[in-house]
């Protein structure tokens, strides 16, 4: 119910920070106050998004639930980046994307592997080989799309002549990554859904350690 959604977390005490941030902006309390109150208000909202996606996963299954959690989990960062881009704050968008990439690749992945190792300290962790191959290819594609504009910028000799080419290459890389993500969703939910469904008894021959 609505009460469980709104008040079903200890972070609900931070919800008053949302209207306080609006009031602080209206009365010009200063950017530090607005930023601090907005940050406090975002914490329970982000946690509730994760909670709702987990509730949806009970009805749709772990595959769709995990996909929704991964997609909606970045909704806060996406909204902030869109507003910053609308206000022509390019550096804020760049640093936000950089922080998101580093946190997901290093912090989240490293913490997951560490916790999995501690939970299975007396035995090996097993992963499905096909899922690992798909995720590794997507990771390499994302790395390549991020490196190409940077390599073009530093490899070319004339700055003015490469500015337009770098911009075009960046846009092309963004389109490629978006198409790859849509293709991955179709691959995961339609054509090869059985590969991503949870299995109670893992197959030793199709697993890697």
Q: Which of 44, 49, 42, 41 is nearest to 12 (CA)?
A: 44
> pLDDT grade, residue 154 (50/70/90)?
confident
Q: What is the pLDDT of residue 175?
A: 92
pLDDT digit string (tens) for 107-120? Answer: 888 888 888 888 88
How far, CA to CA in Å, does 62 sit from each of 9, 55, 70, 116? 23, 11, 12, 18
Question: What average pLDDT score do residues 11-27 get?
Answer: 89
Q: What is the pLDDT of residue 160?
A: 58
Q: Which residues contact 17 (CB under 8 A, 6 or more apart)?
A: 37, 38, 40, 41
What percent of the chain is predicted at pLDDT more than 90? Answer: 6
Question: How big is the chain, counted in residues?
Answer: 209
- Tokens representing residue 18 in the block: 């949302």
pLDDT for 202 beyond 80: no
Q: What is the pLDDT of residue 161?
A: 58
Q: What is the pLDDT of residue 198?
A: 53
Tokens 């590969």 map to which residue?
195
pTM surpassing 0.75? no
CA-to-CA distance for 140 and 118, rounded, in angstroms? 28
């Amino acid at each position: 119910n609505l009460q469980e959604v709104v008040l079903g977390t200890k972070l609900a005490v931070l919800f008053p920070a949302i209207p306080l941030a609006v009031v602080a902006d209206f009365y010009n309390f200063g950017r530090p106050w607005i930023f601090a109150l907005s940050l406090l208000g975002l914490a329970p909202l982000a946690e509730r998004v994760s909670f709702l996606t987990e509730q949806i996963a009970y009805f749709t299954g772990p595959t769709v639930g995990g996909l929704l959690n991964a997609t909606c989990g970045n909704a806060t960062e996406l909204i902030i980046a869109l507003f910053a881009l609308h206000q022509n704050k390019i550096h804020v968008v760049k640093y936000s994307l950089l922080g998101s990439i580093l946190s997901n690749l290093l912090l989240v992945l490293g913490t997951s592997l560490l916790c999995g190792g501690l939970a299975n300290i007396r035995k090996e962790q097993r992963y499905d080989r096909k899922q690992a191959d798909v995720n590794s290819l997507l990771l390499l594609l994302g790395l390549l799309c991020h490196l190409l504009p940077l390599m073009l910028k530093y490899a070319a000799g004339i700055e003015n002549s490469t500015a337009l080419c770098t911009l075009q290459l960046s846009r092309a890389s963004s389109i490629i990554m978006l198409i790859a993500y849509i293709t991955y969703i179709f691959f995961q939910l339609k054509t090869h859904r059985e590969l991503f469904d949870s299995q109670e008894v893992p197959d030793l021959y199709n697993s890697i350690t």
